[in-house]
Amino acid sequence: MEHSDEYYINCEDLFKIYKIADLEVVALRGLDLKVRPGELMAIVGASGSGKSTLLNILAGLDQPSAGRAYVGGRDLLLMNDGDMVEYRRKHVGFIWQQTGRNLIPYLDAVQNVEVPMVLNGVAAADARERATELLTAVRMDHRMHNHPNQMSGGEQQRVSIAVALANNPPLLLADEPTGELDSFGADMVYEIFTDLNRDFGVTIVIVTHDPEIAARVDRVVAIRDGRTSTEIHRRTEFDGGTPTVHHDEYVLVDAAGRLQIPREMLERLGINERARVIPSDGAVEVLPEERRKRSK
């Protein structure tokens, strides 16, 4: 697979295997994911399904074991340590669930936003100007000189978003950014992601447990057991001027033609181990095995 400009993120058949002593944990098993430039999308899945593993790989915090992973034309499997440092500093912004992990407690909001720029060699006056702009974009300009312990969790996450965008990365990754927030704080964080995506064209990938997420983003991809399984698209139709939002659900088909049928559906149909696949008019039927009477 070559990199193509059509996708900002392009993962194919991605594997991540953690080895602890003699034990192997397969966290990603042949995962495919494509994200277009300027998309606002979310990844959902049960705990342990591989969401954080995927996000850490996309953030350049960890390396995959096998497969293909391109972000903005960079091959993540070929990056050396120096490339990874450069990538993390300029090309991707990351937001952790734990508010305390994103901010330096003894610095105020504007100083926190300046840190990544100063590390990147930006002059102090320019850093201050950009930090002020970013804090305005996350609606925290009235709290520029507050320290993290003087802010609510939601306010800290908004400052964290400004910190993540300090060096103007085209990609923002957030691992359960609203996991520790009340619904008001979470709503504000989602509104800011929507603004940043619309106004600055930042590509945004949010990992979440929030079942309401489909209403907030263009597309939701579900991960099961280290693979992407289904996705939901948001589509707005205008019926005589009134916008109506529709959600279309799809099962993903990988490069080898495999698709995952949700377990509940298989159980309802009584399918296990093998099924009959029969072409019918413009469709394919998936049926349980025929149960024949055993001949004597």
Ligand X SMILES: Nc1ncnc2c1ncn2[C@@H]1O[C@H](COP(=O)(O)OP(=O)(O)O)[C@@H](O)[C@H]1O
DSSP E strands, the chain: 9-20, 23-35, 40-44, 66-71, 74-75, 92-95, 171-175, 203-207, 219-224, 227-239, 242-251, 275-280, 283-288
| Core vs surface per residue 41-72: b (16+ CB within 10 A) or e | bbbbbeeebbbbbbbbbbbbebebbebbbbbb
User: Which tokens sit at 120?
Assistant: 């990147």
Does 20 engage in binding with ligand X (CB under 6 A)?
yes
Query: Looking at beta carbons only, is 113 or 222 nearer to Mg ion?
Result: 222
Q: Of ligand X, Mg ion, none, which one sits near residue 49, judging by CB under 5 to 8 A according to partner kind? A: ligand X
Does 50 engage in binding with ligand X (CB under 6 A)?
yes
Query: Looking at beta carbons only, is 25 or 265 nearer to ligand X?
Result: 25
Query: Looking at beta carbons only, is 17 or 286 nearer to Mg ion?
Result: 17
- 42 vs 186: CA distance, rounded Å: 14
* Cβ atoms of residues 222 and 44 within 8 Å: yes
Residues in the chain: 296
Q: Of Mg ion, ligand X, none, which one sits near residue 64, judging by CB under 5 to 8 A according to partner kind? A: none
For the CB of residue 67, give the shortest distance to ligand X in the complex, in Å.
15
Binding segment for Mg ion among 52-60, 81-89, 218-226, 242-250 (CB under 5 A)?
52-60
For the CB of residue 120, give the shortest distance to Mg ion in the complex, in Å.
28
Does 52 engage in binding with Mg ion (CB under 5 A)?
yes
Binding segment for Mg ion among 44-52, 110-118, 156-164, 262-270 (CB under 5 A)?
44-52
Q: Of ligand X, Mg ion, none, which one sits near residue 67, judging by CB under 5 to 8 A according to partner kind? A: none
Binding segment for ligand X among 17-25, 76-84, 98-106, 196-204 (CB under 6 A)?
17-25
For the CB of residue 11, give the shortest distance to ligand X in the complex, in Å.
14
Number of chain residues interacting with ligand X (CB under 6 A): 12
State the residue number with the nearest CB to Mg ion. Answer: 52
Does 23 engage in binding with ligand X (CB under 6 A)?
no
Does 49 engage in binding with Mg ion (CB under 5 A)?
no
Please give the residues from 208 up to 247 whose contact with ligand X meets the rule CB under 6 A: none
C-alpha torsion 48→50→56→60, nearest 10? 150
Q: Which of 115, 123, 15, 27 is closest to 68 using CA atoms?
A: 15
- 12 vs 197: CA distance, rounded Å: 25
- 292 vs 10: CA distance, rounded Å: 45
- 6 vs 34: CA distance, rounded Å: 9
Does 64 engage in binding with ligand X (CB under 6 A)?
no
Q: Which of 33, 92, 22, 31 is closest to 65 using CA atoms?
A: 31
Residues that bind Mg ion (CB under 5 A): 52
Q: Footprint of ligand X on this chain (CB under 6 A)?
A: 18, 20, 25, 27, 45, 47-53
